[in-house]
C-alpha cells in the first residue's frame, strides 16, 4: 500500500486519533465530477450558508438520502439549516432534539453569538464543533446531524446515529451448554455495551481508530491497563495505525493486516463472537480488537494452546473440562495424522499390524484399484466437497446432501469396490475429530496439514510423517504472536501456566494469570481463595 500512498499524497492521513476521522475519502459525487477532491475537503467552511449547502450537495453528488431542512426566513434566504442522511440517522432523535429546539429558538431572531447559543442549549450528548468541509462530510456520513447557520464559518455535528441493527442473539459458531448465551452483533456500540457490562473496571481502556479510506470503519482497541503487556498493546496500536486500505468489512481484514507471520497455516490471532470470551481474554492479559460491522472480535497476542480452550471449560466442572481438553488435543493429532498413518502403515510398515488385522485389511483392499494414498486423497477430497456443500447450500436442501453423502458416497463406493471400508472409517473418524477442535481457524489448519501429511506418509512412510511433524514443530516454535512465542507455555516452558493447558485445574488453584501477562501484575485472587485442605476443614468443624 506504500506506493499507493505516495502516488496520492493527499490521500494519506493521520494514522490514529481519538476523534479525527480519516479525511480524504467518501463516495463519489455524481454529475460527472469524479470523486471528492482533497482541495474541496480541506477547504474551510464559508460564512455563507448558501455556499456551504451548495458545497455539501455537490460533494455528495445530490444523494437521494441527503435531507436538508432550512429554517427561518423564506426559501433560499434562510438563516439556518439541518442536514442529515436519512438512511443512517434516527429520525425520532433528529426531530425531537435537533429540529424542535432550533425551531423554537427561531434562530433568525437570535442576535450575537449563535454558535455559543447552540452549544449551550442543544440537548444532545455528543456535539462536535467543526469548521472544515471535510469534517462536516465525515460526520454526516457517520449519521450525525449537521447544523449550519448563516454568517458563521463553523458548524455543529450532533450525534443522531441510528438505523436498523440486529439484536443480540445466541452465538451460532461457538455454542456452550452452560454459560452466557449472548453474542456480538454488527454494531460496535452494542458490542461495547456487552463488554462494559462484563468488566466494570476503570482500567478498561478503549482506543478508537478509523480505518479504510472508503469504508471509514470504526475499530476499537481494548485492553486492561496494568494487566495487558504495554509492549504488546503498543505493537498492536502501531500495526493498526499503519493499515491504509480502501475497505475494512470484517475483522478478518484486520487480522491479516496485523498478524506477525503471513506465510503460516496457523492462526496467531484468535477470533470469537462471545463477549465472555473476550472479557476472559482481556483479564488474562490479551488485547481485544472489535470492528464495526463484524460480530467477531479479535484477541491478541495469542498462543497455540489458546485455540484449544473453549469458554465452557471455565464454566463447567474442572474434571470434565480437563478430560475434554485432553480429548481435543488428541483429536487434533488424529485429525492431522490418522489418514497419513493409515497410509504409511498399510503401504510401508505392515509388520506393525497384528496379523489378523493385517489379513482383514488386505482382504478389504482386494479389488480396490488405487494405491492407499490415492484412495485416501480421493476420499478426503470428497469429504471436503461434502462439507463445503453443507455450509454453502440453502438450508432446505440439507437432507438431500446428507443422503447423497452418507449413502451414495459411503456405502455404495465400498460396495462398488472403489474404496475399502477401512478407509471410509478412517476418513469419517478424521472428519469427526476435526469438528472437536473448538476454533474454526485451528481446525482449518489441521485440515490443510492433513493433506501434506498424507502425501509424506504415502511417499516416505513413517519417516515422512516424522519429518513432517518435525518441520511442523520447528515452524510452531518459530512463530510469534506480537512478540510472545506461539508455543508458550510449552516452549518456553512456564510451569505456572501449565495449569490451564493440558488440563484445567479448579479455579482456586489458578492464582496467577496465565501466559501473556507473564510476571506483569500476575496475581488475580486473594490469598484466602485457596482450596481448603483436610486439616482446614477439620479446624472449621472444631470451631463450630
Partner 1 sequence: MQATSQQQLASAVILFQLGSSPLFLLAGPAKGDAWIAVFVGMLAGAVLLLTATLQIYRKEPNLSLIELLPKYFGRVLGTAIALAYIFYFTYKSVRNVREFGDLLNAFLLPNTPLVFLLFMVVLLSAYAVYHGADVFFRLTELVLPWIVFFYALVICFVLLTNLVHLENMEPVLERGLKPVVAAALPELISFPFGEMVLFLMFWRMTDSVSRTFRTTIMAFLFAGLFLVIANALILSVLGKMSFFTVIPLLQMTNLINVGGIVERLDPIILLLLFTGVYLKQTAYFLGAVLALSQLSGSKWRRCIPPIGILIFAGALAFRSYMEQVRIGFKLNLNYHFPIFQIVIPYLILAVILIRSFKSRRAEN
Residues at the contact surface with partner 1, assessed by CB under 8 A: 348-349, 351-352, 354, 460-463, 466-467, 470-471, 473-474, 476-478, 485, 487, 490-493
Helix axis angle, 440-478 to 318-347, nearest 10°: 70
Residue whose CB is less far from partner 1, 351 or 543: 351
Residue whose CB is less far from partner 1, 175 or 496: 496
Smallest separation (angstroms) from partner 1 to the CB of 352: 5
CB neighbour class for 492 (10 Å; exposed up to 12, middle 13-18, buried from 19): exposed
Residue whose CB is less far from partner 1, 418 or 477: 477
Residue whose CB is less far from partner 1, 374 or 466: 466
Tally: H helices and E strands in the chain: 20, 12
Smallest separation (angstroms) from partner 1 to the CB of 306: 17
Smallest separation (angstroms) from partner 1 to the CB of 310: 23
Smallest separation (angstroms) from partner 1 to the CB of 479: 9
Residue whose CB is less far from partner 1, 29 or 340: 340
Smallest separation (angstroms) from partner 1 to the CB of 288: 26
C-alpha to C-alpha distances, 367 to 114, 370, 371, nearest whole angstrom = 92, 9, 11
Contacts of 312 (CB under 8 A, 6+ apart): 176, 177, 178, 179, 321
Cα–chain center distance at 511 = 29
Record the cell numbers describing residue 349, joined without a space. 510398515
Q: End-to-end CA distance of the chain: give it in Å, rounded.
A: 72
Give residue for cell 451460532: 172
Smallest separation (angstroms) from partner 1 to the CB of 42: 46
DSSP 462-512: HHHHHHHHHHHHHHHHH-EETTEETTTTBTTB-GGGGGGTTS---GGG--B
Q: What is the DSSP letter of 218?
A: E
Give residue for cell 497476542: 301
Smallest separation (angstroms) from partner 1 to the CB of 478: 4
Residue whose CB is less far from partner 1, 211 or 515: 515
Residue whose CB is less far from partner 1, 124 or 501: 501
Smallest separation (angstroms) from partner 1 to the CB of 500: 17
Record the cell numbers describing residue 248, joined without a space. 475494512
Instruction: Identify whether the C-beta of residue 350 lies closer than 8 Å to the C-beta of residue 330.
Output: no
* Among the listed residues 268, 257, 253, 258, the one whose alpha carbon sits nearest the alpha carbon of residue 233: 258
C-alpha to C-alpha distances, 174 to 276, 294, 334, nearest whole angstrom = 11, 15, 22
* Among the listed residues 454, 434, 445, the one whose alpha carbon sits nearest the alpha carbon of residue 486: 445
Smallest separation (angstroms) from partner 1 to the CB of 474: 5
Q: Distance (Å, rounded) from C-alpha 137 to C-alpha 302?
A: 38
Q: Distance (Å, rounded) from C-alpha 308 to C-alpha 313?
A: 10
Record the cell numbers describing residue 379, joined without a space. 476420499
Residue whose CB is less far from partner 1, 283 or 494: 494
CB neighbour class for 513 (10 Å; exposed up to 12, middle 13-18, buried from 19): buried
Residue whose CB is less far from partner 1, 241 or 477: 477
Residue whose CB is less far from partner 1, 323 or 463: 463
Residue whose CB is less far from partner 1, 176 or 465: 465
Q: Distance (Å, rounded) from C-alpha 21 to C-alpha 216?
A: 8
Residue whose CB is less far from partner 1, 115 or 460: 460
Contacts of 502 (CB under 8 A, 6+ apart): 322, 325, 326, 329
Smallest separation (angstroms) from partner 1 to the CB of 231: 13
C-alpha to C-alpha distances, 341 to 148, 297, 335, 538, nearest whole angstrom = 73, 37, 11, 54
Smallest separation (angstroms) from partner 1 to the CB of 329: 13
Smallest separation (angstroms) from partner 1 to the CB of 477: 4
Smallest separation (angstroms) from partner 1 to the CB of 490: 6
Cα–chain center distance at 480 = 19
CA dihedral 165, 171, 173, 179 (to 10 degrees): 160
Record the cell numbers describing residue 443, joined without a space. 481446525
Residue whose CB is less far from partner 1, 32 or 354: 354
Smallest separation (angstroms) from partner 1 to the CB of 476: 8
Residue whose CB is less far from partner 1, 368 or 462: 462
Q: Distance (Å, rounded) from C-alpha 520 to C-alpha 285?
A: 9
Amino acid at each position: 500500500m506504500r506506493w499507493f500512498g505516495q502516488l496520492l499524497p493527499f490521500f494519506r492521513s493521520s494514522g490514529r486519533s481519538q476523534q479525527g476521522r480519516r479525511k480524504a475519502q467518501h463516495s463519489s459525487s455524481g454529475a460527472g465530477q469524479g470523486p471528492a477532491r482533497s482541495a474541496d475537503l480541506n477547504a474551510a467552511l464559508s460564512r455563507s450558508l448558501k455556499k456551504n449547502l451548495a458545497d455539501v450537495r455537490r460533494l455528495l453528488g445530490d444523494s437521494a438520502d441527503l435531507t436538508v431542512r432550512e429554517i427561518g426566513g423564506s426559501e433560499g434566504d434562510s438563516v439556518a439549516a439541518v442536514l442529515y442522511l436519512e438512511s443512517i440517522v434516527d429520525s425520532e432523535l433528529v426531530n425531537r432534539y435537533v429540529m424542535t429546539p432550533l425551531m423554537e429558538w427561531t434562530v433568525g431572531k437570535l442576535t450575537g453569538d449563535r454558535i455559543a447559543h447552540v452549544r449551550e442549549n442543544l440537548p444532545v450528548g455528543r456535539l462536535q464543533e467543526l469548521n472544515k468541509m471535510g469534517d462536516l462530510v465525515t460526520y454526516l456520513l457517520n449519521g450525525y446531524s449537521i447544523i449550519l447557520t448563516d454568517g458563521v464559518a463553523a458548524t455543529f455535528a450532533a450525534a443522531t446515529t441510528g438505523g436498523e441493527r440486529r439484536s443480540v442473539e445466541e452465538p451460532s459458531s461457538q455454542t456452550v451448554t452452560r454459560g452466557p448465551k449472548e453474542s456480538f452483533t454488527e454494531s460496535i456500540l452494542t458490542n461495547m455495551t456487552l463488554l462494559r457490562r462484563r468488566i466494570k473496571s476503570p482500567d478498561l481502556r478503549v482506543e478508537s481508530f478509523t480505518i479504510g479510506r472508503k469504508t471509514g470503519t470504526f475499530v476499537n482497541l481494548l485492553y486492561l491497563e496494568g494487566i495487558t503487556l504495554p509492549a504488546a498493546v503498543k505493537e498492536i496500536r502501531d500495526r493498526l495505525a499503519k493499515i491504509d486500505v480502501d475497505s475494512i468489512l470484517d475483522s478478518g481484514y484486520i487480522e491479516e493486516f496485523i498478524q506477525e507471520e503471513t506465510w503460516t497455516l496457523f492462526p496467531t490471532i484468535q477470533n470469537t463472537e462471545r463477549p465472555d470470551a473476550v472479557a476472559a481474554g482481556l483479564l488474562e492479559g490479551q488485547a481485544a480488537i472489535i470492528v464495526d460491522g463484524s460480530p467477531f472480535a479479535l484477541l491478541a497476542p495469542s498462543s497455540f494452546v489458546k485455540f484449544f480452550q473453549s469458554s465452557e471449560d471455565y464454566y463447567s466442572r474442572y474434571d470434565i473440562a480437563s478430560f475434554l481438553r485432553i480429548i481435543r488435543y488428541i483429536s487434533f493429532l488424529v485429525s492431522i495424522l490418522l489418514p497419513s498413518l493409515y497410509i504409511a502403515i498399510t503401504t510401508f510398515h505392515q509388520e506393525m499390524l497384528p496379523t489378523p488385522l493385517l489379513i482383514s485389511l488386505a482382504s478389504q483392499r482386494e479389488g480396490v484399484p488405487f494405491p492407499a494414498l490415492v484412495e485416501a486423497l480421493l476420499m478426503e477430497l470428497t469429504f471436503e466437497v461434502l462439507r463445503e456443500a453443507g455450509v454453502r447450500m440453502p438450508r432446505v436442501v440439507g437432507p438431500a446432501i446428507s443422503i447423497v453423502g452418507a449413502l451414495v458416497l459411503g456405502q455404495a463406493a465400498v460396495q462398488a469396490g472403489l474404496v475399502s471400508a477401512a478407509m471410509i472409517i478412517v476418513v469419517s473418524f478424521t472428519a469427526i475429530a476435526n469438528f472437536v477442535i473448538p476454533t474454526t481457524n485451528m481446525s482449518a489448519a489441521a485440515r490443510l496439514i492433513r493433506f501434506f501429511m498424507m502425501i509424506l506418509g504415502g511417499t516416505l512412510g513413517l519417516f515422512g510423517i516424522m519429518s513432517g511433524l518435525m518441520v511442523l514443530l520447528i515452524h510452531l516454535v518459530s512463530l510469534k504472536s506480537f512478540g510472545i512465542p506461539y508455543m508458550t507455555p510449552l516452549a518456553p516452558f512456564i510451569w505456572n501456566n501449565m495449569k490451564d493447558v493440558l488440563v484445567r485445574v479448579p479455579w482456586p488453584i489458578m492464582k496467577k494469570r496465565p501466559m501473556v501477562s507473564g510476571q506483569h501484575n500476575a496475581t488475580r485472587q486473594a490469598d484466602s481463595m485457596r482450596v481448603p485442605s483436610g486439616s482446614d476443614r477439620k479446624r472449621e468443624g472444631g470451631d463450630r
